[in-house]
Chain A
Amino acid sequence: EDQVTQSPEALRLQEGESSSLNCSYTVSGLRGLFWYRQDPGKGPEFLFTLYSAGEEKEKERLKATLTKKESFLHITAPKPEDSATYLCAVQAAGTYKYIFGTGTRLKVLA
Chain B
Amino acid sequence: EDKVVQSPLSLVVHEGDTVTLNCSYEVTNFRSLLWYKQEKKAPTFLFMLTSSGIEKKSGRLSSILDKKELFSILNITATQTGDSAVYLCAVNSNSGYALNFGKGTSLLVTP
Q: Do the two chains belong together in a single complex?
A: no
B interface residues (Cβ-Cβ under 8 A, vs A) = none
